[in-house]
């Protein structure tokens, strides 16, 4: 039973990681299109940064969730240590990214 639970959680974890990659890839394509192809709408560089940064923040949160899932079933102390380090790094990245996005949003308002 434990092995089945581990297989399921690892597969879901990999699916969430793929979803994160798709979100970032889509954000990169969208950013390049908005930035390099002129359109009738006025889009500022700050607006593009906010859109891209928001996508990266969502992807970081999904990746953190994927890491938690991957170590959810019978983790070793080594797994818990690695998850702690990854969680701290990703949370810090997300915190500072969100802070910067708020500053950019306040400047453009």
Contact criterion met (CB below 8 Å) for 83 and 67 = yes
Which has more pLDDT, 23 or 107? 23
On the 0-12 / 13-18 / 19+ scale of CB atoms within 10 A, 10 is middle
- DSSP per residue over 57-73, as a string? HHHHHHHHHHHHHHTSS
User: What are 7-61's pLDDT values in tens digits?
Assistant: 999 999 999 999 999 999 999 999 998 888 877 677 777 888 899 999 999 999 9
pTM for this model (two decimals): 0.83
Q: What is the mean pLDDT of residues 49-74?
A: 91
């Amino acid at each position: 039973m434990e092995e089945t639970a581990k297989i399921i959680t690892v597969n879901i974890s990999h699916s969430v990681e793929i979803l994160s990659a798709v979100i970032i890839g889509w954000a990169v394509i969208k950013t390049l299109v908005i930035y390099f192809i002129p359109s009738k709408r006025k889009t500022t560089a700050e607006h593009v940064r906010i859109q891209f940064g928001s996508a990266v923040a969502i992807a970081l949160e999904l990746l953190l969730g994927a890491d938690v899932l991957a170590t959810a079933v019978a983790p070793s102390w080594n797994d818990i240590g690695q998850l702690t380090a990854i969680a701290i790094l990703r949370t810090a990245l997300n915190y500072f990214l969100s802070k910067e996005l708020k500053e950019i949003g306040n400047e453009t308002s």
